[in-house]
Structures are given as C-alpha cells and as structure tokens.
A = this chain, B = another copy of it.
Amino acid sequence: MAISIKDVAKMAEVSVATVSRVLNKNTNVKEETEKRVLDAIEKTGYKPNAIARSLKVKNTRTIGIMIPDISSNFFPEVVRGIEDVANEFNYNIILCNTDLDREKESKYLDILVEKQVDGIIYMSNTFTDQLAEKVKKMGIEIVLISTDYKDLPSITIDNVKASKDAVDYLIEKGYENIALIGGQMTDPNAGLPRYNGYINAMSHAGKTINKDFIVEGNYKFESGYTGMKKLLELEKKPDAVFTVSDEMAVGIIRAVLESGYKVPKDMAVIGFDNTNMAKMTYPSLTTLSQPLYEMGAVGMRLLTKLLNKEEVENHKIVLEHELIKRESA
C-alpha cells in the first residue's frame, strides 16, 4: 500500500488535518510543526493522492480535448498551445481522437464527464444540438476551437475574410484566371466560408466566376494533386490557384511541376494554414496562416476564465489571420 497522509501524520506526530494544512499552504501552522511535517513528507516520499483530493474538492484540474486526429496536420500545434497554457494554470489534458465519428465522440464525451474533467475543448467537428444539450445538462464548461455553435464560447478566424484576402493578393499581383480548390461545401467551418471568400474577392474585382475553375477537395494532398490535374487539362488553364489547405497546395505544386510548368511563374499557388511544412517545400508556400498555437492557447485561457467564473466580456473570439508571403505566389 502506498503511503498516505496518515503515515505522514503519524511520523510527524500531528493530525492528518495539520498535514493537509501544510500541503495546502494554509498559513495557520506553527513554523516548527510545519518543518516536522515537511520532514516527514521528505522521509516517507509521500505524494498526495490527487484522486482523493478531487473527490473532496470536486475538481480534477484536468480538461478534455476532443479532436479528430492528432496525427493530421492541423492539430498538433493547437494542442501544444492548449497544453502550454493548461500547464501554466496547473491543468492537465486528456486527449481524445474522435475521427469525426459521432459515436466515438459521444462515447468520449461520456468518459470525460465520468472522469470529471473540469472543462472540454472541442475541435472535432461541427457541433450539434445533441452535444450541446448533453454538455449543458452535465454543467461542463466547453470552448470550441475552429468551429462555432450558437452562444457557446469559441475561437475562430474569419474564414471568408481570410479567403478573400488570399484571393485579393492574387488579383493585386495581376493574375487573371484564378482557380479555387476548396473544401467540401457541406463543411460549414472551412468549406463554405472559404468558398464564399473566393467568390467575394472575384466579384468584388469584377471578375467573372468560371465554374470550371472551382473544384472540390478534401484538404488532403491527393485531392490537391488530382484537382490540379483536372485544372491542367482545361483548354483554358488558370494562372493561379488558391486552395484551402497546405497539403492540397503541395499536391497542386507537384501536379504543376510534373507537367513541366513552373511555380509561381506559370502557376501561382496559395495554401492555407501555414503548417510546419509550408516553409520547407520548394518552392516554399505562400499561405494564409491561422494562428494555430495561439488558437489553442487563447482557447485554453478562455476556458480557465470560465472555470474561475471570471467575467469574460466576449465569448466569441475571432483571431487575426495573416497572409504569409513566400515563394509560391
């Protein structure tokens, strides 16, 4: 049996209450007593049992993170942001990969509730009424990152503005025929709004929208590659393409290069996300940067405030994006 507060109390010849007091830095302990207790802790190698403590104080100082897949490009950096500020505020994180699977998601949510996490950060998917109801009933604090839902706290960027900025840049640079390899239109987070941004920019510049220049992708390398191949087969080819993930951008570049064209001379390419990879590719990627780390950090910071019942002026935080200009456009 591991040693408990009792053993320490016995050795220090005090009550467990006193030990608890020095553990929790309660001031009302005589210095000499405190020293005895500290000694005993040292000697026994005692480590407090956080589970027992949690049961009593009704918080666990752990929060749950629900993401689709830590091994996909987007998430590690925001998780890092979360964990850094979690750590700063003495929280730990339980990581859950949902694979965008509603059933897994629901199961994980139950587990997190049962494990009494103090809060949840959700970036898994589009949020649903069902989830919202569950969370509400459980009385658990939640913040959404990179997705939004009714009046729940969330951290996002302005996807249509971001998208428009990217296309505007292409237009300013004088590109005439700008294509879009977008996300799924059914994706209300990164699909639709970025499509709208593209349309906005084009219309605003008085350019006609060419349906052939709009192709749907799924954010993955292959879909960028095949999407570009399709564009390259067109009679009238685009001279620039904006796409909504860096992976797709890299796929696009490969398709272009393989066809003997140059980037950006023959085909400019703008990606999205500014993932690690973006600065490493050749040519390096001009890309619309989401502040990934910051999104995580700010989200977690918001959650701590919520947990402390601090007054927060604004639950809906929209972070600034930035167009990172490199070689590909």
Contact surface of A with B, Cβ cutoff 8 Å: 2, 45, 47-52, 54-55, 60, 62, 69-73, 75-77, 79-80, 83-84, 87, 92-97, 110-111, 113-116, 137-139, 221, 247, 250-251, 253-254, 257, 276-277, 279-282, 293
A113 touches which of B47, B95, B97, B282 (Cβ 8 Å): B47
Q: How far is the CB of A300 from chain B (nearest CB, A)?
A: 13
Q: Helix, strand, loop or mixed for chain A's interface? A: helix
CA A243 to CA B142, docked complex, whole Å: 44
How many subunits of this chain does the assembly comprise?
2
Q: Which residues of B have CB within 8 Å of A93?
A: 94-95
A115 and B51 contact, CB distance less than 8 A: yes
CA A54 to CA B116, docked complex, whole Å: 12
CA A96 to CA B70, docked complex, whole Å: 14
A80 touches which of B70, B92, B251 (Cβ 8 Å): B70
B84 and A79 contact, CB distance less than 8 A: no
B95 and A79 contact, CB distance less than 8 A: yes
A83 and B95 contact, CB distance less than 8 A: yes
A83 touches which of B54, B87, B97, B282 (Cβ 8 Å): B97
Nearest 7 pairs of A and B residues by beta carbon: A71-B80, A50-B114, A71-B76, A71-B77, A250-B280, A50-B115, A76-B76
Beyond A50-B114, A79-B95, A114-B47, whether A257 also contacts B277 by CB under 8 A is no
Identify the interface centre among A50, A95, A250: most chain B CB within 10 Å of its CB. Answer: A95
CA A71 to CA B94, docked complex, whole Å: 16
A49 and B116 contact, CB distance less than 8 A: yes
B97 and A95 contact, CB distance less than 8 A: no
A55 and B51 contact, CB distance less than 8 A: yes
Q: Which residues of B have CB within 8 Å of A115?
A: 50-51, 62, 92
Beyond A62-B94, A92-B94, A279-B221, whether A76 also contacts B83 by CB under 8 A is no
